């Protein structure tokens, strides 16, 4: 039910997915990573050799799109494209930029809106993304806008990439994050912004445990109202 859901929005690298997953576990909710859904559409575009910024090329791909997600015994959200498990494939560096591009296209956002809302109708969810509190779940029980300084976000993203065995340079990761922020914030449809009724949580000075504690306090207070 939407009124019991938790919506978490914010820029790339703010720690949304790590925190949202931990929060969902704590609440016994389902965690829905909406970025992964956009990434799967981006992978489809990439494999089809389509221009990710051209709606005329992307819209036809949506018609035959066989996109599915499920949850393993470990609670990890897995994404499937035409039956193929693409959970790892959508995490590569190029897909981040492509996802931000396809996410700016109105036909892509329209197509994914129902898909995302359905999850919140069927389950109590912690859902993270860019427009969850503003567009997807406007009646969410608690809305959080999670952010951190760009340098802190780049540092965390770098660590995450390295843990996955991907090499990257700090400056490149930072400029990539800034470019994506700009793209996500300035698009015409459902841009990244804080909902009026969202609580702002800045984690620049907080470690993971401190961030989770702060997040839990906001959510418990919000859901008890």
Which residues are near ligand DC by CB under 6 A? Answer: 12, 34-35, 38-39, 96, 99-100, 103, 129-132, 180, 184
Q: State in angstroms the smallest separation of the CB of 60 from ligand DC.
A: 20
Cα(122)–Cα(69) distance, rounded to whole angstroms? 14
Cα(67)–Cα(79) distance, rounded to whole angstroms? 7
Tell me whether residue 185 or residue 220 sits nearer to ligand DC (CB atom): 185
Q: State in angstroms the smallest separation of the CB of 46 from ligand DC.
A: 13
Q: State in angstroms the smallest separation of the CB of 224 from ligand DC.
A: 26
Tell me whether residue 103 or residue 218 sits nearer to ligand DC (CB atom): 103
Checking phi first, is residue 12 left (phi over 0); if not, alpha (psi -120 to 50) or beta? beta
Tell me whether residue 114 or residue 221 sits nearer to ligand DC (CB atom): 114
Q: State in angstroms the smallest separation of the CB of 115 from ligand DC.
A: 11
Cα(33)–Cα(116) distance, rounded to whole angstroms? 10
Tell me whether residue 191 or residue 222 sits nearer to ligand DC (CB atom): 191
Beta strands in 89-163, from DSSP E residues, in sequence order: 125-129, 142-147
Determine the Cα angle at 133 with ends 132 and 134, to 5°: 95
Tell me whether residue 76 or residue 217 sits nearer to ligand DC (CB atom): 76
Q: State in angstroms the smallest separation of the CB of 85 from ligand DC.
A: 17
On whether the CB atoms of residues 9 and 194 are closer than 8 A, the answer is yes
């Amino acid at each position: 039910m939407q009124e019991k859901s938790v919506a978490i929005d914010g820029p790339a690298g703010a720690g949304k997915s790590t925190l949202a997953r931990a929060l969902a576990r704590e609440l016994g909710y389902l965690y829905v990573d909406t970025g992964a859904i956009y990434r799967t559409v981006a992978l489809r575009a990439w494999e089809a050799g389509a221009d990710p910024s051209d709606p005329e090329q992307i819209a036809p791909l949506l018609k035959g799109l066989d996109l599915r997600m499920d949850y393993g015994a470990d609670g990890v959200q897995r994404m499937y494209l035409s039956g193929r498990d693409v959970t790892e494939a959508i995490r590569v560096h190029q897909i981040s930029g492509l996802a931000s591009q396809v996410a700016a296209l109105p036909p892509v956002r329209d197509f994914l809106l129902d898909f995302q809302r359905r999850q919140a109708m069927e389950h109590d969810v912690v859902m993270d993304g860019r427009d969850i509190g503003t567009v997807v779940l406007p009646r969410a029980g608690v809305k959080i806008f999670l952010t951190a300084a760009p340098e802190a976000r780049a540092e965390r993203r770098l660590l995450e990439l390295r843990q996955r065995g991907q090499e990257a340079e700090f400056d490149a990761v930072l400029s990539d994050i800034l470019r994506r922020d700009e793209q996500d914030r300035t698009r015409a449809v459902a841009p990244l912004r804080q909902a009026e009724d969202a609580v702002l949580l800045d984690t620049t000075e907080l470690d993971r445990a401190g961030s989770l504690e702060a997040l839990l306090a906001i959510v418990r207070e919000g859901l008890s109202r």
